[in-house]
Structure formats: structure tokens, C-alpha cells
Amino acid sequence: MSTTVPAYVRVTPGWVAATAFAWLVTTAVALSLVVYALGPMLQSSDQRAALADIRGQMDRALGASQSLFGGAPPTKPAEFGSPVAVLEIPRLQAQQVVLEGVSSGETASGPGHVPGTSGLGQPGNAALAGRKSGYGGPFGALGALRPGDQIVVATTQGRSVYQVTSVAERPLDEGQDYGKTDDDRLTLVTSTSWWPLAASEAIVVTSRLVGKPFRPTPQNGRADAQDGRTGDSGAWAPLALAFGGFLLAAAGSTYLYRRWRPVSTYVITAPMLLALAAMSALALWRLFPAWA
């Protein structure tokens, strides 16, 4: 009985360059698939959990309002990342649960309420920032809105209707778009471009509240970076760990492919490579602007 010995591939500069290029292409494809294929599924899962949470809050608020003493007003702002409202845009056939905060991690789960702006349905200017393309792009069609369109917001206080007054593409003006106003309005903001690094131009939709606002509640203050145009610097550490592990796994896989059975190597290394690629992509996307 004869034993077949695998033929070793001769390592040359050309082979190294070709292998490095192949892994580079594989990495880029994996990152894109994670963000644009896995990302929407993760966002949808987060939205379902947030919707169940906000519905529970609404039910408890309704029960408290019908009690003998009525519901006690909140004494502190909503926690970052917690659901604060349900947003419906009939023209776009869109429904999204709004979370508190506009960091990259928060907008990966849904549109975020900009800290430092008014509460939704309350007096003043309430602002939301959402993603243009990543994680399902909940604000991807925001530019299709027209003056006169309605935007509906439901919170634990009740239901508010806004009417769109303007849709503009221009650089974000924090003083104008996130600042105090004499009227009661809702401002929706996203990027104009699908490119994840784009942060200069914004689609800004302004709408005016129809009817009277609800009583104001405590709101979070806003730091300079909480405007949707910046990423999360805290993502560098998990990115370095995940991508470093991916590179080591890729090098090990290349070695095994040269010296072992390809099918067996694929079965062993593919799940690990996919998991590390997904972790790398999710960490990398957190470094990009939160509205990308």
C-alpha cells in the first residue's frame, strides 16, 4: 500500500504577494458581508427587543396614569441605549424604535435621540440621528420626504404628530439643527452618502409639532462628540484584538492548506475565520461616523 505525500508549494515572492492579495480581498468581502448582510439582522433583532421594552414602558405608564394618584413624573434622564420612543414615517413605510444617544453602538440598533435636545413630543427642538446605509440604513430614504408629510412619534406620554416643513442637504449646523427653537419641532439627521467615512454633508429634515406638546422631562446633556458625525474611539481595543486574531488565524490556515488536506483544513478554520471577521467588522464600523 502506498501513501500519498502532499506536494509542498514552493514559497516565492510572487506566491507570498498572491496569497497576501487573496487574503486582503477575502477580508474586504467578509467585512462588507458582515456590515451589509449580518448588520441588518443584528439591527432587526435589537429593534424587536427594544419594541418589547418600550411597549412595556407604555403599558406601565398607562396603568399609572389611570390610578388614583396618577403617574409620578420621571426624575432623571433616560439611560443611554435605552428605548425612548417609537418613530413612524408613513411616506417611507418605516417604523423604528428610537434609542437614547447617538454613539456608533447606539445607532447600530436604531435611530438615536441626540442628547441635549428636547424630549420627543415635548416643547422645543427634539433631534434624531440615524444611519444612512449601515445596519439596515433606517434613515436611508430620508431624502424622499417632502413638506407636508407626517411623522408620528409615540412615547410613554402619548402620541405626537409632526408635519415636515423642510428637507435640505447641507453641512450639519449644531447651533441650528440641535439648538433651542421658539417653536416645537422634530429634526431628523443622516448622512448624504453611503460611504461610511462621509461626515461633511447631512440630510436634515425639519418638522413642526401639530397640537400642544407634552410636559417636559429631564434630558441628558450633550458632549462635543455626540452629534452623529463621529465614531467610538473605544472600539480600537476590540478591533485590534479581533483583527489580530483574524490575521493569526489566516496565517495558520495558509500554513495548513499547504501541508494538510484542503477539505479538513476548511472545516477546522472556516468557522473561526468567520467569527473573527464578524468581530473585526463590527468593531471597525464603530469607528466610523454614527450616521453612516
Tens of pLDDT along the chain (292 residues) come to 444 544 455 667 776 677 677 767 766 776 677 777 888 999 999 999 999 999 999 999 888 877 656 666 777 999 999 999 999 999 999 999 999 999 998 999 999 999 999 999 999 999 999 999 889 999 999 999 999 999 999 999 999 999 999 999 999 999 999 999 999 999 999 999 988 888 889 999 999 999 999 999 999 997 766 888 888 888 899 889 988 888 888 788 777 777 777 777 667 777 888 788 788 888 888 888 999 8
**Domain carrying residue 70:** 40-210
CATH number reported for the structural domain that contains residue 62 in this entry: 2.40.260.10
Beta-strand relationship, 201-210 and 112-113: unpaired
Instruction: Quote the pLDDT of residue 15.
Output: 66
pTM for the predicted model, two decimal places:
0.85
Work out the angle between the directed axes of helices 262-285 and 236-259 (0-180°, nearest 10): 170
Q: Does a structural domain hold residue 59?
A: yes
Residues 6+ apart with CB under 8 A from 12: none
Instruction: Quote the pLDDT of residue 187.
Output: 98
Q: Are 209 and 185 spatial neighbours (Cβ–Cβ below 8 Å)?
A: yes
Q: Does a structural domain hold residue 283?
A: no
Instruction: Quote the pLDDT of residue 36.
Output: 76
Instruction: Quote the pLDDT of residue 5.
Output: 45
By C-alpha distance, which of 248, 243, 128, 110 is closest to 177? 128
Q: Does a structural domain hold residue 89?
A: yes
Report the domain count for the chain.
1
Q: Does a structural domain hold residue 9?
A: no
Instruction: Quote the pLDDT of residue 258.
Output: 73
Q: Does a structural domain hold residue 120?
A: yes
- Cell digits of residue 60: 406601565
Q: Does a structural domain hold residue 7?
A: no
Q: Does a structural domain hold residue 130?
A: yes
Helix, strand, coil: what percent of the chain each, to 5?
Answer: 40, 20, 40
Q: Does a structural domain hold residue 159?
A: yes
